[in-house]
Structures are given as structure tokens and as C-alpha cells.
Amino acid sequence: MQPGRTDQRAEDALDDLPEGLAIHAPKDRAEDAQKNAAFRLRRVIRWRGETLELDASLLGRFRLRRIGE
């Protein structure tokens, strides 16, 4: 395991995600067969007399491309 870091650009991107699941293939990355996915879930949970906010966000990328030999 490697030490983590906080990147404010990534934090802002996660905060800007709408709730739900989104998957798309960017047209400018068609030659790489790139697919992107984003997911965000926000809920208010009442548990043991406390009110908690759950905010879970994920960004993902899958890219498959040929490399010259």
C-alpha cells in the first residue's frame, strides 16, 4: 500500500457529480476505446439517535489501446 494524498481538483470533481450512475464513451477518445463511469449516492441516515449524512462518490476509467511494437 502506498501513502495517499488529497488532490483538491479530484475533491471538486467528486463534489460536482450528480446523484446516480452515468457511463459514457468520450468521442475524442474513440481510438482508445475509453469508457468513463461516475457514481454518487447521497443519503441522510438516522442511526442510534444520530443523524448522519452519507456521501459516496466514485469515478472510473477503462481504456484499452494498442501499443506500437
pLDDT tens for each residue of 8-65: 999 999 999 999 999 999 888 887 888 999 999 999 999 999 999 999 999 998 888 8
Q: Is residue 38 part of a domain?
A: yes
> Is 2 contained in some domain?
no
The rounded distance, in Å, linking the Cα atoms of 44 and 60 is 25
Q: Does 3 map to a domain?
A: no
* Residue 68 belongs to some domain of the structure: no
Residue 14 lies in a domain: yes
Contact 39, 57 (CB under 8 A): yes
- Total domains in the fold of the chain: 1
Q: Is residue 17 part of a domain?
A: yes
Is 67 among the domain residues? Answer: no
- Expressed as residue numbers, the domain containing 27 is 8-62
Query: Looking at the domain assignment, is residue 40 inside a domain?
Result: yes
Among 14, 29, 38, 27, smallest CA distance to 63 is for 29
